[in-house]
Chain A
């Protein structure tokens, strides 16, 4: 733990890097946390004075996908995050220790760094405790206990941000996002299934650099990464505006790289930075690779399917429908109803005409309503 007393700058130097390397790292960091280059000097200053921050990484109802994504960060490199910026004290996926030892480590951090450590949460929390107990303690209890003295909380992934797949209908475990359980701490939502690695490290880098949470939108997502819809930055957007669409995955349009809107792309309703950050060190992202966006960073994405059709959801339900098909059906039913109504009207009209003729003498001006049903 003594090393933790070093600043990030010192720890970089002690690893054999030069000041020049350090400045390069800072420049990359500035860019990756979504800041302007003019703020580079602030990042450098922060890195010179701040110390490595202890991090507790809880894995609750998750699939470890977020951890897997995190360790693939390339800017900043995960090594520099893990060894220079943070001190990852507790994580199920990466820790060498396990069992009681690792639970000890977690308690140690809570006791020794109250108000200083960052809590990263991956996975949703079951409301029925029996679905997830870690070391004999329920997931909710673990979360509450660890969150109590945390400086800030990072909700990594769609599960901890929205409930995610565990919360998908019928949600057997009663899964909830951490924002439903913790109300009194700053929480940064970093949704995605998983989130982009550079977004995950970028958010943590911002926290360490400035000691504050980055600017958030109304859902608590960092604006630097979740400000735009994928649709607005999509490399296939020109095809959308042209009206050139992939109709099926084996057609000419698919070969030409046309817009995937008609095969269910959720880009127009999905806030994420896939289109500009891309994945695997900026190589590609689903739409670029020819697969429609499934909207994994949006709440209820699993229930908003199917993935490869354009759907609309009936408000207040989990039911998605194809609005044009259902709409045409409803119109058909309406027209059929009208035809029946018109036919009945015509028959009634004829009937009343007949009876009208019969007592034509009576139906002069003063006639009381003879035909009450009309």
Chain B
């Protein structure tokens, strides 16, 4: 079943955002008007789903810790350990989240060109502005991107990048707060100098968590919208890794030779 060609109706200027030379991107010819580009390599997909799962777990458990919305079935403090378990799951998820994020940072340097982002160039910000205008239905010169557009990249820098760091610093401080003399306690003992006292650190942690929730809502909408508008298989790409690209002048996909 071929995807109707007439649906891809827009022409786009070329992106000027420079990407580091990385290994050639794998593509797959489907013999039709489209070419399948291997955008999200396996580590990226694994990261994405572990990240999503741990964040989701931490949001649910975190809201419970902040505002316990359930009581134990057995009202007996000797046997019930509800808050204890919820906190335990939250902390466990936090460690998985951290390890996962570290692995992803390794992949920033080792992955294909879609696994990284370099905002330290003018074109990035120019095209971010164009992308923002695109999403605000204004006249724009947004290029077509196979991977993330720069606005999306920026949102990952803000939420997955800075947001994760804020959440981890404040979270680990709170986790080790009762043992300030321990090794890990000392590792995070400087956190109050930036974020303020125990109450302020909690507030930061809380607000960052809500920032993550807003991000998730927008992120999922944007992904569905992209899939719907571009018909490029954005949604399935996070499972398979492949996105469909219109065959264009042969230039957009840096290599079409490494066919599977």
Residues of A within 8 A of B (CB): 217-218, 228-229, 232, 238-245, 261-262, 266, 268-271, 295, 298-300, 304, 310, 312-315, 323-324, 326-327, 330-331, 334-335, 338, 341-342, 344-345, 348-349, 352, 356, 360, 363, 367-374
Instruction: Tell me whether A352 and B9 are in contact (CB under 8 A).
Output: yes
Known: A238-B77, A345-B229. A312 touches B203 (CB 8 A): yes
Q: Which of B20-28, B48-56, B62-70 contacts A (4 or more CB under 8 A)?
A: B62-70
Does B251 make an interface contact (CB < 8 A)?
no
Closest A-chain residue to B136, C-beta based?
A341
Instruction: Tell me whether A330 and B140 are in contact (CB under 8 A).
Output: no
CB neighbours (8 Å) of A370 from chain B are: 11
CB neighbours (8 Å) of B161 from chain A are: none
Q: Besides A242-B80, A331-B210, A373-B137, 16 other CB < 8 A contacts? A: A218-B192, A238-B77, A244-B72, A244-B77, A245-B68, A245-B71, A269-B199, A269-B202, A304-B199, A313-B200, A314-B207, A315-B203, A331-B217, A334-B214, A344-B137, A349-B229
Q: Which of B81-89, B90-98, B106-114, B116-124 contacts A (4 or more CB under 8 A)?
A: B81-89
Known: A323-B206, A368-B11. A298 touches B199 (CB 8 A): yes
Instruction: Tell me whether B197 and A299 are in contact (CB under 8 A).
Output: yes
Residues from 209 to 225 in B contacting A, C-beta threshold 8 Å:
209-210, 213-214, 217-218, 221, 225
Instruction: Tell me whether A315 and B225 are in contact (CB under 8 A).
Output: no
> How distant is the Cα of A363 from the Cα of B77 in the complex, in angstroms?
72
CB neighbours (8 Å) of A330 from chain B are: 210, 214
Instruction: Tell me whether A373 and B199 are in contact (CB under 8 A).
Output: no
- Can you report 10 A-B residue pairs in the complex whose CB atoms are below 8 A from each other? A241-B84, A242-B80, A262-B68, A268-B202, A269-B202, A270-B198, A271-B198, A298-B197, A315-B200, A370-B11
* Interface membership of chain B positions 125-165, coded 1 if the CB is closer than 8 angstroms to chain A and 0 otherwise: 00000000011011111000000000000000000000000
Known: A241-B81, A243-B71. A369 touches B207 (CB 8 A): no
> How distant is the Cα of A374 from the Cα of B85 in the complex, in angstroms?
49
Does B189 make an interface contact (CB < 8 A)?
yes
**Which residue, A331, A348, A370, A372, has most C-beta atoms of chain B within 10 A?**
A372
Instruction: Tell me whether A269 and B197 are in contact (CB under 8 A).
Output: yes
Does B6 make an interface contact (CB < 8 A)?
yes
Instruction: Tell me whether A269 and B198 are in contact (CB under 8 A).
Output: yes
Closest A-chain residue to B217, C-beta based?
A334
CB neighbours (8 Å) of A269 from chain B are: 197-199, 202
> How distant is the Cα of A297 from the Cα of B210 in the complex, in angstroms?
29
> How distant is the Cα of A13 from the Cα of B6 in the complex, in angstroms?
105
> How distant is the Cα of A266 from the Cα of B71 in the complex, in angstroms?
20
Instruction: Tell me whether A342 and B225 are in contact (CB under 8 A).
Output: yes
> How distant is the Cα of A172 from the Cα of B221 in the complex, in angstroms?
48
Q: Could you say which interface size class chain B belongs to?
A: 35 or more
> How distant is the Cα of A276 from the Cα of B12 in the complex, in angstroms?
70
Instruction: Tell me whether A331 and B214 are in contact (CB under 8 A).
Output: yes
Contact of A363 among B9, B138, B221 (CB under 8 A): B9
CB neighbours (8 Å) of B178 from chain A are: 228-229, 232
Instruction: Tell me whether B70 and A243 are in contact (CB under 8 A).
Output: yes
Closest A-chain residue to B74, C-beta based?
A242
Closest B-chain residue to A372, C-beta based?
B139
10 A-B pairs closest in CB distance: A243-B82, A312-B203, A269-B198, A327-B210, A242-B80, A241-B84, A242-B77, A269-B199, A243-B83, A313-B203
Cβ distance B151 to chain A, nearest Cβ, rounded Å: 14
Known: A244-B80, A367-B11, A373-B140. A229 touches B198 (CB 8 A): yes
CB neighbours (8 Å) of A300 from chain B are: 197, 199
**Which residue, B11, B189, B209, B213, has most C-beta atoms of chain A within 10 A?**
B11
**Which residue, B70, B198, B199, has most C-beta atoms of chain A within 10 A?**
B199
Contact of A242 among B66, B84, B229 (CB under 8 A): B84
Closest A-chain residue to B63, C-beta based?
A324
CB neighbours (8 Å) of B210 from chain A are: 323, 326-327, 330-331
> How distant is the Cα of A352 from the Cα of B11 in the complex, in angstroms?
13
Cβ distance A256 to chain B, nearest Cβ, rounded Å: 8
Instruction: Tell me whether A242 and B81 are in contact (CB under 8 A).
Output: yes
Closest B-chain residue to A266, C-beta based?
B199
Contact of A312 among B9, B70, B198, B206 (CB under 8 A): B206
Cβ distance A325 to chain B, nearest Cβ, rounded Å: 9
